[in-house]
């Protein structure tokens, strides 16, 4: 009789505890996935970047008048438009413009632009300007896209001929 009394008391208690427990069905099926392949190194083809040489007298041998662009890593674009009358227009990525005159270096292969109280030097080559670290820096040497301004369009006047950047 003691066993039946204990069972009579334990059965409702067990049902109450079971009712309070988590009753979510668990999907115990195993899903097989294909083995992941080890990533392989991808070798991209090398792209030859052209860096034209700076001639001895770029002023006399290069058609330098026109617009040059510098693209930064964060997709910003600055432009310099050079005129045949030694004027320039500098457009910053935010659209602000600076206008002025540039001077030629003694070697006639570099131009000097006075901007924001600083003299900036550029070596002149066919369809490119190379930013130089200083006005007296050599015009030959290592090149990079971070310092290379590439021609985007020639400067033109109303007749379609190369003209002044200061107009």
| pLDDT, tens only, 38-68 | 777 778 777 778 888 999 999 999 999 999 9
- What does pTM read for this prediction? 0.65
Higher pLDDT, 10 or 72: 72
* Average of per-residue pLDDT across 107-112: 95
Q: What gap in Å lies between CA 82 and CA 111, rounded to an integer? A: 10
Token pair for 18 = 């079971």
Q: Average pLDDT over the chain, rounded to whole?
A: 81
Predicted local distance difference test score (pLDDT) of residue 15: 55
pLDDT tier at 161, thresholds 50, 70, 90 = very low
* Average of per-residue pLDDT across 73-84: 94
* Average of per-residue pLDDT across 126-136: 94
Predicted local distance difference test score (pLDDT) of residue 9: 55
Predicted local distance difference test score (pLDDT) of residue 23: 58
* Neighbour-count burial of 139, counting CB atoms closer than 10 A to its CB (0-12 exposed, 13-18 middle, 19+ buried): buried
Over residues 94-108, the pLDDT tens digits come to 999 999 999 999 999
Domains and CATH numbers, the chain: 58-153 (2.40.128.640)
Strands 66-71 and 110-115: unpaired
Q: What gap in Å lies between CA 23 and CA 14, rounded to an integer? A: 15
Predicted local distance difference test score (pLDDT) of residue 165: 44
Main-chain phi, psi angles of 90, to 5 degrees: -105, 125
Over residues 18-29, the pLDDT tens digits come to 555 555 666 677
Residues pairing with 92 in the sheet: none
- pLDDT(12) > 80: no
Predicted local distance difference test score (pLDDT) of residue 41: 78
* Contact criterion met (CB below 8 Å) for 50 and 64: no
Strand (E) positions, the chain?
66-71, 77-82, 87-91, 97-104, 110-115, 118-125, 128-132, 148-153
Predicted local distance difference test score (pLDDT) of residue 50: 85
């Amino acid at each position: 009789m003691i066993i039946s009394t204990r069972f009579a008391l334990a059965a409702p208690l067990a049902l109450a505890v079971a009712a309070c427990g988590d009753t979510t069905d668990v999907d115990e099926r195993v899903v097989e996935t294909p083995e992941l392949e080890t990533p392989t190194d991808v070798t991209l083809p090398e792209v030859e970047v052209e860096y034209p040489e700076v001639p001895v007298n770029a002023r006399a041998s290069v058609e330098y008048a026109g617009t040059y662009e510098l693209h930064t890593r964060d997709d910003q674009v600055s432009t310099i438009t050079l005129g045949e009358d030694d004027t320039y227009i500098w457009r910053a990525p935010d659209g602000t413009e600076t206008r002025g005159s540039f001077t030629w270096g003694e070697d006639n292969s570099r131009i000097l632009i006075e901007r924001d109280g600083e003299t900036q030097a550029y070596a002149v080559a066919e369809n490119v300007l190379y930013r130089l670290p200083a006005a007296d820096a050599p015009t030959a040497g290592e090149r990079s896209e971070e310092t290379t301004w590439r021609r985007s369009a020639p400067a033109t006047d109303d007749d379609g001929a190369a003209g002044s950047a200061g107009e």
